[in-house]
Chain A
């Protein structure tokens, strides 16, 4: 690459605020015409938000974008598309109720109101596209819901490529593909680049980036970190830039690890697997330890957490708790055993948003607060609720306040309180502090460490490395739908974990 190339796309001081979360904080960088420009960063770094803004699907809170020297005046998908931008979405934008052909050409309706669609032309065009990509497992007239996820992803990619864009944005296009398919895609991107297409490419696969990207921009916590040229790119530099956060010592105070791990196993998952979703995954939680599970987007951590709690079906699994095999893996059975699951997605699970905080906290323990006639003893309940509100320093106007009107941090605390109030033996927490402010984060961490020291087992699934490092005694790392290794005690560093998370372990070993 020569440095004289023109900048095609200029991102100037783009910020995006979602409530208290600053998803993007004055991000500025440029993309050259005809390059493959990789975007790299942990989950939540703001990569998706940035490409959505370029595509016009989100409106920035501040900043502007220039394409080919022209200011982008509007933020609307039609405007961006009109400027020659196309995007492959991280969460697929496919139409399962329609044919493959219709998914490849969703804009064919724009050709005229009274005209009738020439299906034969479109189907044969679709066939050509599929052939040119040696994509033989689907036929144009097939319904999209009969195509597997990798196939659907492929079709979205092909839709964008064959719309002849000037700039192609790809948000983790290879996360659902196997190695061979991913390789094929990367070669195609290279061919397209040779034809002058400019590509912005988000991926967690370091090898892909090292092999195919001309430059890489690293983002962290919504901020631009650096743009590296080809000759500056290597595994080490990428990992360092992704993780090189200055530790605020008060925020993420390292605790002392339990060096001698108690050999008693509290909870064990043996060979949990599900076709196409998760390879055989096994993990153990020893008594008194906090186990962390880390993985980048698409690595399967979220689904593992759900499956081992019976929230999603599995093909096969054995789960043992305190030496006894759990007969049926259902959430009801888990609750009966004193195992609770705390979901990080406050919006969809975990809280009754329109019931009072008191009702939320009482819900899982209606038995304890009810008298023998099954009527709820309001006073007793208020007492319990108050003690939790104090313990968790939840800022609410009254016990009757509804979670919907609380800040994210307070919602999260209510959720944690609701769970801890039942005196669980084991707490599985998934993204316990996603999208909340720093103060609330620290408080939640302290609460978790607190109950851990009282002997409650804790498994934390999180995509925030610093969080995991400060909470866990041991961290299991996932990569591409399998457990890739584990690190414990002093060996746990951001770099060592990030390496396990982004490179297959056989490759790490050598």
Chain B
């Protein structure tokens, strides 16, 4: 086998190749076609939309690799945002309020993990049920208020607005998580185990892997990441409202699938999730900057999603036929 040929083929066959390619194309179009793309305001809003979305997408990616997913992340973000701002408003110190937010994330994740991993409820049903429960709790806390106490202490607001060399802390945090997850998924035994379990649950059982425990842990991780995303968001905007995180579960899943994940599990990378998110954010940006009706955005995103998934399915089918497996 020719080494060089193999390498090029490997790059193209990497699951995140497609999304990186279309993201770069979109980037070039925006950079050359719009004079306000590199505007500081635009870059700022891109950073602060990408960072929290990417954190949630990372969690979703871990779940998708395992072959499950979570539709309750958006609701979790709302509940965490509202709870943290209520805590702050009632005078709780910043570290404690943040800790409380993470506590909620862990709790929701744990319950999801038990329902899916141990009780064995289909993740669609389990996490939708939890979504409604968590959402209900969030709305209850909000009662008829749209915003909760907007006067956050400065030491909290800095989490959302602080920058280092023009880059938001939250964006840097997201990059740190990206690096950690990438290493974890590629080079750590436990990270690899996600791929084993997601790739073939039955064989994993025969190998004696504890997939139940793994599912619980990863649901807790996505709960934590959703909490972090919520905290960064409310700190940036200075208020919490019940629409925080609404619909983010779908964009996260779409981002991950664009980035090479599959609902049947066993594949995907953190980098793929990030590029999926960047692509989605650039799409929004594109429709804003070129002043196209944003309703078209949904149509385009849907079409791209289906093309990417269909192409992947077609290639898999072809490969299996060549190998005489079907």
Chain A residues near B (Cβ < 8 Å)? 55, 57, 76-78, 81, 89, 92-98, 102, 106-117, 119, 139, 145-149, 274-277, 312-313
Contacts and interface: CB of A to CB of B under 8 A. Distances in A.
Given A93-B202, A113-B188, 12 more contacts: A55-B206, A78-B208, A97-B195, A98-B195, A109-B189, A109-B196, A111-B189, A116-B183, A116-B188, A119-B187, A145-B320, A149-B324
B100 interface: no
The 9 A-B pairs of least Cβ separation, nearest first, read: A109-B189, A276-B324, A78-B208, A97-B199, A93-B203, A97-B266, A77-B208, A116-B187, A95-B199
B199 A149 contact: no
A94 B200 contact: yes
Q: Is the interface of A mostly helix, strand, loop or mixed?
A: loop
A443 to B, nearest CB: 35
A55 B203 CA distance: 13
Interface residues of B, number: 30
Contact of B199 (A81, A98, A274): A98
A422 B183 CA distance: 60
B122 to A, nearest CB: 16
Contacts of A76: 208
A464 B223 CA distance: 53
Given A96-B199, A98-B196, A77 B206 contact: yes
25 contacts: A77-B206, A77-B208, A81-B208, A89-B206, A92-B203, A93-B202, A93-B203, A95-B266, A96-B200, A97-B198, A97-B266, A98-B192, A102-B192, A106-B207, A107-B207, A108-B189, A109-B188, A109-B192, A113-B188, A115-B189, A145-B316, A145-B319, A147-B323, A274-B324, A276-B324
A98 B189 CA distance: 13
Given A93-B207, A107-B207, A145-B319, A313 B326 contact: yes
A109 B193 contact: yes
Given A149-B323, A149-B324, A94 B203 contact: yes
Contacts of A77: 205-208
Nearest to B324: A276
Interface string B173-194: 0000000000100011110110
Contact of A139 (B1, B190, B209, B325): B1
Interface in B114-168: none
Contacts of B200: 93-97
A139 B320 CA distance: 19
A117 B188 contact: yes
A92 B207 CA distance: 12
Contacts of B1: 139
Contacts, number: 91
Contact of B189 (A78, A92, A110, A276): A110
Contacts of B190: 109, 113
Nearest to A145: B319
B236 interface: no
B267 interface: yes
Contacts of B183: 116
A77 to B, nearest CB: 4
A149 B325 contact: yes
Contacts of B187: 116-117, 119
B189 A117 contact: yes
Contacts of B195: 95, 97-98
B208 A148 contact: no
B141 to A, nearest CB: 37
Nearest to B316: A145
